[in-house]
A and B are shown apart, each in its own frame.
Chain A
């Protein structure tokens, strides 16, 4: 699988690094413009945040489409003749695609916020160094919360990507006609709805929550939290996670991985 990961990275790094370089230049441009325009340190981060937010959102969408496109090409273009004749199992192929998607999301998701913070520390006189920012963040978020946030992000991202991969693969297996290959998106919407419905239903049937606050380490029954919400930081002012719905998402994610791998290995007709 690692050999295949190597070639997946080689095939996609130009786009990712190119996008990253472009966005970093754009971020630098935003900050430089604002500082020069006011001839003073930035007082309001709001405007910059909005522009940056839009830029980062656009980049995330473009990267997502690129990564999804890379998977789709295997099933609809001639490159599949190479990929699917390599001595690899379906799990290895899907695992490699997922791993590389993660590597890029992680890279972009780390570099952009860090670069933003660096820009703030350079251009904003109120913030002298990055240590101050990290100290402030550490005061708000506990280690346990950060750990759960990482786990939840990895789980939800895997689930989302695998749902897309599964929809594309199922669409290819069911409809061999390349012209209606776009049906994967309809399948994706239906499956996403089913997935969310199941998650909400399970959370309401089993309303047991993991308390992620510093005050308590115990599992607790928390009736105040809205059904289906795995994280309810804003409603209750506390960070909690529904145990059953998280297990459900985990099980569905593993099932999607195995199902996509099976379809790729045993059912795809190129």
Chain B
């Protein structure tokens, strides 16, 4: 099969709030896909279901033809939107943990990424700034040769210099045999690296397509299409 992700009739309800509403989506292997939408559109809920942190209320999700579980966790490299590393760790401990748990983790690549991000292995996790955390988490995620990368708001809340570094790291370290899902509401900064885009609004898929084709068809940048959809 040519799809790395297959989502069928996916619904997620929190008490009385519908976070995802009967979502159907297929993501092909080897693509960088942007999941675009404003806050509360269901982007993070979708990603958390894919990574196994949330359970669907109904519907089916397959990653590399498998249901969410130990195997899918082993092939997904996930960048969450928060500081998720254990507070007692130093950066070198985080490196060891990833090396222990993920066969596809490349310690040399991680060292290069750390150098690029101007981080040191002996830094303590709980002393890092938000930007440094973001860079470290990205270095850990990109140092894996995973089948699927899932990056949740990789540039949200970091300064413009750090943003550029993060985007450079994503572009330079992306493996063409892998697929990448990126959620963001900072569309203008991210749109150049996206092959395909998916627009989510109130948990529903409102539009999707090849980024280049959409630009040609509409004669607009993705950010303008985004504003058009979500301004309504």
Contact present for A11 and B88 (CB under 8 Å) = yes
Do B86 and A85 touch (CB < 8 A)? no
The CA of A155 and the CA of B103, in the complex, are separated in Å by: 36
Which residue of A11, A85, A89, A268 contacts B76 across the interface (Cβ within 8 Å)? A85
User: With A82-B84, A82-B86 as given contacts, are A7 and B78 in contact (CB-CB < 8 Å)?
Assistant: no
Does A128 lie at the interface of the complex (its beta carbon under 8 Å from any beta carbon of B)?
no
Instruction: Tell me whether A176 and B14 are in contact in the complex, defined as CB-CB below 8 angstroms, given that A3-B101, A78-B83 are known contacts.
Output: yes
Beyond A81-B80, A89-B70, whether A267 also contacts B88 by CB under 8 A is: no
Q: Which A residues are in CB contact (< 8 Å) with B71?
A: 87
Q: Which residues of B are found within 8 Å of A11, using beta-carbon distances?
A: 86, 88
**Binary CB contact string for chain A from 241 to 270 against chain B (1 if under 8 A, 0 otherwise):** 000000000000000000000000011111
Residues of A within 8 A of B73 (CB): 85-88
Residue B39 lies at the interface, judged by CB distance under 8 Å to chain A: no
User: Do B53 and A86 touch across chains, with their CB atoms under 8 A apart?
Assistant: no
When the two chains form the complex, which single residue of B52, B83, B100 contacts A85, counting CB atoms closer than 8 Å?
B52
Name the residue of chain B whose CB is nearest to the CB of A11: B88
Near A by CB (< 8 A), chain B positions 5-49 give 14-15, 48
B55 on the A face (CB < 8 A): yes
User: CB of B54 within 8 A of chain A?
Assistant: yes
Across-interface contacts of B55 in A (CB, < 8 A): 266-269
- Please tell me if B179 contacts chain A, counting CB pairs below 8 Å: no
Residue A160 is within 8 A (CB to CB) of chain B in the complex: no
Contact of B227 with A by CB under 8 A: no
Categorize the interface residue count of chain B.
20 to 34
Contacts of A84 in B (CB 8 A): 52-53
A10 in contact (CB, < 8 A) = yes
Question: Is A39 located at the chain interface by the 8 A CB criterion?
Answer: no
Interface flags for A76-101 (1: CB within 8 Å of B; 0: not) read 00111110111111000000000000
Chain A residues within 8 Å of B15, by CB: 176
**Residues in B whose Cβ lies below 8 Å from that of A7:** 86, 97, 100
A179 located at the interface, meaning its Cβ lies under 8 Å from any Cβ of chain B in the complex: no
A93 shortest CB reach to chain B, Å: 11
- Distance between Cα atoms of A266 and B93 in the complex (Å): 29
Kindly provide the distance from the CB of A18 to the nearest chain B CB, expressed in whole angstroms.
13
**Nearest opposing residue in chain B for A269, CB measure:** B54
> How far is the CB of A157 from the nearest CB of chain B, in Å?
25
Contact A85 B53 (CB under 8 A): yes
Contact of A81 among B76, B82, B93, B101 (CB under 8 A): B82
Contact (A78, B48) CB under 8 Å given A87-B70, A88-B70, A270-B53: no
* Any A CB within 8 A of the CB of B183: no
**Docked-complex contact B82 and A78, CB < 8 angstroms:** yes
For residue B88, which residues in chain A have a CB less than 8 angstroms away from its CB?
10-11, 14
A85 CA to B76 CA, complexed, in Å: 9
B87 within 8 A of A: yes
Expressed in whole angstroms, the Cα–Cα distance for A89 and B68 within the complex equals 12
Establish whether residues A87 and B74, one from each chain, have CB atoms under 8 Å apart when the complex forms: yes
Other-chain contact of B48, A87, A176, A266, A270 (Cβ < 8 Å): A270
How far does the alpha carbon of A89 sit from the alpha carbon of B73 in the complex, in Å?
A: 10
Q: Complex: how many Å from CA A14 to CA B124?
A: 15
**Which of the residues B54, B86, B93 comes within 8 Å of A270, measured between beta carbons?**
B54
On chain B, the residues within 8 Å of A267 by CB distance are: 55
Residues of A within 8 A of B74 (CB): 87
Known: A11-B88, A79-B87, A269-B53. A85 touches B70 (CB 8 A): no
Tell me the minimal C-beta distance from A206 to chain B in angstroms.
40
- Considering the complex, which residues of chain B in the window 91-132 have a beta carbon less than 8 Å from any beta carbon of chain A? 93, 97, 100-102
- Cβ-defined contact, B101 with A86, below 8 A: yes
Q: Is the CB of A79 within 8 A of B70?
A: no
Contact with B along A6-20 (1 / 0, CB 8 A): 110011001000000
* Contact residues, A1-58 vs B (CB, 8 A): 3, 6-7, 10-11, 14
Return chain B residues, CB-CB under 8 Å to A3. 100-101
Within 8 Å of chain A (Cβ to Cβ): is B85? Answer: yes
A-B contact pairs, 12 of them (CB 8 A): A10-B88, A78-B82, A79-B84, A79-B87, A82-B84, A85-B51, A86-B101, A87-B70, A87-B73, A89-B70, A176-B15, A270-B54
**A80-B53, A88-B101 known; 14 other A-B pairs, CB under 8 Å?**
A3-B100, A3-B101, A78-B82, A79-B86, A79-B87, A80-B84, A85-B78, A86-B101, A87-B71, A87-B101, A269-B53, A269-B55, A270-B53, A270-B54
* Interchain residue pairs A-B with the least CB separation, the first 4: A81-B84, A87-B74, A87-B73, A270-B53
Using a CB–CB cutoff of 8 Å, the interface residues on chain A facing chain B are 3, 6-7, 10-11, 14, 78-82, 84-89, 176, 266-270
